[in-house]
Amino acid sequence: MAYFIICCDIANDKRRERVVKLLGDTGGVRVQYSVFEMRLAKGDLRQLMDDLEAIISKPKDSLILYELCATCQDKPIRYGRDNEVSDETVVVV
């Protein structure tokens, strides 16, 4: 299993709702309005990408998937509402 952060900027409400539903149905957890965290098997990643590409409009929308290494995925630094602050520093480039 690989751990992903998925950021989306979807211009159209209907497409956005479809993307949000798809990400939720495939195990994504919405951590901010346009940001999801999820664990995926490598084979499931290709299917998810195909499904997302069928929904989005490439000239108008944007999706970015970041795969985090095993060392980084369990060490997020979270601040603010409903988040616990970690003392460990993680830099993801």
| Within a domain: 9 | yes
What whole-number percentage of the chain has pLDDT above 70?
Answer: 81
- Which value, in Å, is the radius of gyration of the alpha carbons in the chain? 14
| 20-62: pLDDT as tens digits | 999 999 999 999 999 999 999 878 999 999 999 999 999 999 9
Per the CB < 8 A criterion, the answer to whether 6 and 38 are in contact is: yes
Under 8 Å between Cβ of 40 and 6: no
pTM score: 0.78
Q: Is residue 90 part of a domain?
A: no
Question: Is the residue at 30 inside a domain?
Answer: yes
Q: Give the whole-angstrom CA distance, residue 49 versus residue 51.
A: 5
- 40 occurs within a structural domain: yes
Between CA 52 and CA 10 the distance in angstroms is: 11
The range of the structural domain enclosing residue 22 comes to 2-73
| Nearby residues of 38 by Cβ (< 8 Å), 6 or more positions away | 3, 4, 6, 23, 26, 27, 28, 29
Q: Does the residue 37 lie in any domain?
A: yes
Mean pLDDT of the chain: 84
The CATH number of the domain holding residue 27 is: 3.30.70.240
Residue 7: enclosing H or E segment and its boundaries? Answer: strand 2-9
Number of domains in the chain: 1
Look at residue 86 and tell me if it is in a domain: no
